[in-house]
Structure 1
Amino acid sequence: MTPSPILLTSPDDILGAVPYILGFHPADSLVVIAFAGRGARGRLRVTTRWDLPIAPGALDRLVPLFQREGVTHTILAGFGDGVLVTPAMDEVRRLLSDAGVNVIEALRADDGRYWSYVCTRAECCPPEGRPYDPLAGEVAAQATFAGLMALPDRESLRRSIVPVTGAARVTMREATRSVAADVRAKIVTVAEPREAPAAFVAEGLERVRRSIDAFHRLGPLPDHEAARLGIDLSVVRVRDEAWTLMDDDTQDTHVALWGDLTRRLEAPFVPPAASLLGAAAWRRGDSALAGIAVERALAVDPSYSMANLLAQGLQQLVSPAVLRQRMPTPEELDASMGPPRMEWLHPMLELLDDHTLRTP
């Protein structure tokens, strides 16, 4: 969860930690927190959240995931009415028992009270449930101190990357039209057309690296720089450069940068930035934000390949480590894709001609 691990010693701790693990306070949800190792040495490996009710057979995907991740024990937390939570809880407990995964606690929380499916002692787990406050506990205080945030609900998380409006949208649209006109003119008027792709890609690769560093040091990019970076990312080789630059030290910067661009870019240029946001969030372990970012990309372009790849991985509960292991280096990308060609720029040029950019 944080550079300083938070010890979970009670149901109150667990229920206090879940919103900060997810990034929002869940409702009508089943949350599975999985660990590898034994006792106090166990390490958090996977957290998954499922909307309730859950489709028959959907939970079956947990078993191969846990086998890949070496999961040994889990904590389960259901949020909502017992009619919704209990069938899902019974199913996941059966699956994990058959797979040899220990369930050390299984809770249901609703309307400020919680119940345990594991403990049957009335003195600590009475039939009417035990009261708890997810906002006032020690774990919530530790998580807040560590810089973690828990939004009120998933809808709040979705709203965190909705497009900017008002004056911010007007100035961004004007900047995009201006930059788009300059880029198109530069490409179509170049003296030697065969040199245009290489020059565009080289500038784009440098701009990606420079923008990541600038955002880390200074925060959001000026409108014209953000618009130009958005145009650069519409070329796959430039977008993939940004993807290869994600690592454990920079993933927070990537989440912030691509999240900012997802909100500010004009709609035709959103899919690459939103997909990069999804990849960075997923790498960080924030599958909720990753899923929302992918949804945003596919809402603009349902055929966008990177977003579809991420959507499949999230749906199949693939570990982000798999993508990290298979992601080529920039040098390997150059070797596999070869020298830049004019067809690389065709999708970008079509976007520059989009009527939404030419509308006054």
Structure 2
Amino acid sequence: MTPTPILLTSPDDILGAVPYILGFHPADSLVVIAFAGRGVRGRLRVTTRWDLPLPPGALDRLVPLLQREEATHTILAGFGDGALVTPAMDEVRLLLSTAGIKVIEALRAEGARYWSYVCTRVECCPPDGRPYDPLAGEVAAQATFGGLVALPDRESLRGSLAPAGGAARAKMREATRSVAADVRARLVAAAQPHEVPGAFVAEGLARVRRSLDAFGASGPLPDHEAARLGVDLAVIRVRDEAWTLMDDHTQDTHVALWADLTRRLEPSFVPPVASLLGAAAWRRGDSALAGIAVERALAADPSYSMANLLAQGLQQLVSPEILRHRMPTPAELDASMGAPRMEWLHPMLGLLDDHTLRTP
């Protein structure tokens, strides 16, 4: 679930790791970390988080999710005061016990102290809790060295995808206007209109691959290239192939590229890249970032189908493995969609007109 293996050997390690697994320091939260395999060295399979207090039925889908993931044991962590955390902890422990899924540790953290619901020995788990440092420690050092980040809270994570402003926004708006005018002019001036869709899609697919390679090697794309890629991805065929290119070796590059474009592109071009970010983050196990990415996509276009699909999967606690096994190959996409047609370009043409007519 994270690019850096972290060995959890104590409650301090667990509480130190949770913010880096989630990407932010949780508050008023219940976190379930599930493993598959034998003993505490089992493989991390899934991490889920709920805001507290839990609404009725919030945990109904937890056991089916863990069973699909073949989870054998879990670690539970609650963040907040006892009146808030304990009822949720009691509910989830009963659910897991009934399902035969072992709880090897269950903790509540508040401020700089923690308590265990599993340990009853006063010498190691006193009634007034044990002190710990929520911001420092060996696990935090390991995670930071490995490139993991834990933002102060979920709002900070949401802010990390906020649209760029100021001079950066003005430059991107001008780049988008220039690209839109250029692409529209090329489409209108085409000598063989029936060949336009195929050429546009082929160029777009090549640009997606080049952009992933370039971003992985040298970081953010120049404004003009970013705007051009945004235009390409407005065509569903191009977006879908970008989706199929995600795998375990490239998902971090996908997350970085699509997050960067989610921040930089003009709002009307955000839904495809934010949806791709959601898919890549979800695939990586980062459901918090995936959810925020989907929010960005739906804020720009509430009817965007890919974002709605991802939103339903996240809400239903569906495993991202389902998408991995069902995604078509590029050849299958070609076979199912047939030759590129002008209908593929119609949504994008409307966006081009809109941005071409805007003043810088």
State the TM-score, normalizing by the size of structure 2. Answer: 0.97
The correspondence of residues 250-329 of structure 1 with structure 2, limited to 5 A, is 250-329=250-329
1:118, CA displacement in angstroms? Answer: 1.1
The correspondence of residues 103-122 of structure 1 with structure 2, limited to 5 A, is 103-122=103-122
In the aligned structure 2, how far is the partner of 1:60 from the partner of 1:252?
A: 31
Counterpart of 1:151, as a letter, is L
Indicate yes or no: 2:182 matched with 1:182. Answer: yes
Q: Deviations over 1:53-84 (max 9, x none)?
A: 11111101011111111111100000011121
Q: Name the count of aligned residue pairs.
A: 360
1:320, CA displacement in angstroms? Answer: 1.1
1:359, CA displacement in angstroms? Answer: 3.8
Q: Which structure 2 residue ranges, 5 or more long, are not aligned? A: none
User: Is the 8 Å Cα contact of residues 96 and 103 (structure 1) preserved in structure 2?
Assistant: yes
Match of 1:54 in 2: 54
Match of 2:134 in 1: 134
Match of 1:36 in 2: 36
1:100, CA displacement in angstroms? Answer: 0.5
Match of 1:352 in 2: 352
The list of structure 1 runs, each at least 4 consecutive aligned residues, that deviate by more than 4 angstroms after superposition, is 1-4
1:354, CA displacement in angstroms? Answer: 2.3
In the aligned structure 2, how far is the partner of 1:283 from the partner of 1:64?
A: 19
Match of 2:10 in 1: 10
Match of 1:125 in 2: 125
Q: Residues 284 and 136 of structure 1: is their aligned pair in 2 closer, same or farther, counting only changes over 3 Å? A: same
1:2, CA displacement in angstroms? Answer: 4.9
Match of 1:161 in 2: 161
Match of 1:20 in 2: 20
1:355, CA displacement in angstroms? Answer: 6.2
User: Is the 8 Å Cα contact of residues 35 and 71 (structure 2) preserved in structure 1?
Assistant: yes
In the aligned structure 2, how far is the partner of 1:296 from the partner of 1:356?
A: 24
Q: Residues 310 and 3 of structure 1: is their aligned pair in 2 closer, same or farther, counting only changes over 3 Å? A: closer
1:358 partner SS: coil
- What RMSD in Å do the two structures reach over aligned CA positions? 1.3
Match of 2:85 in 1: 85
Q: Which structure 1 residue ranges, 5 or more long, are not aligned? A: none
Q: Deviations over 1:161-202 (max 9, x none)?
A: 111111100010001000001111111221221111111111
Indicate yes or no: 2:337 matched with 1:337. Answer: yes
Counterpart of 1:168, as a letter, is A
Q: Deviations over 1:4-54 (max 9, x none)?
A: 532211111110110111111100100000011111441111100111111
1:135, CA displacement in angstroms? Answer: 2.0
User: Is the 8 Å Cα contact of residues 176 and 357 (structure 1) preserved in structure 2?
Assistant: no
Q: Which has the higher contact order (CA 8 A, sep 6+)?
A: 2
User: Is the 8 Å Cα contact of residues 177 and 356 (structure 2) preserved in structure 1?
Assistant: no
State the TM-score, normalizing by the size of structure 1. Answer: 0.97
Aligned sequence identity (%): 85
- Pick which of 39-48 and 263-272 moved more: 39-48
In the aligned structure 2, how far is the partner of 1:65 from the partner of 1:153?
A: 26
Match of 1:144 in 2: 144
Match of 1:97 in 2: 97
In the aligned structure 2, how far is the partner of 1:249 from the partner of 1:355?
A: 36
Counterpart of 1:246, as a letter, is M
User: Is the 8 Å Cα contact of residues 172 and 223 (structure 1) preserved in structure 2?
Assistant: yes
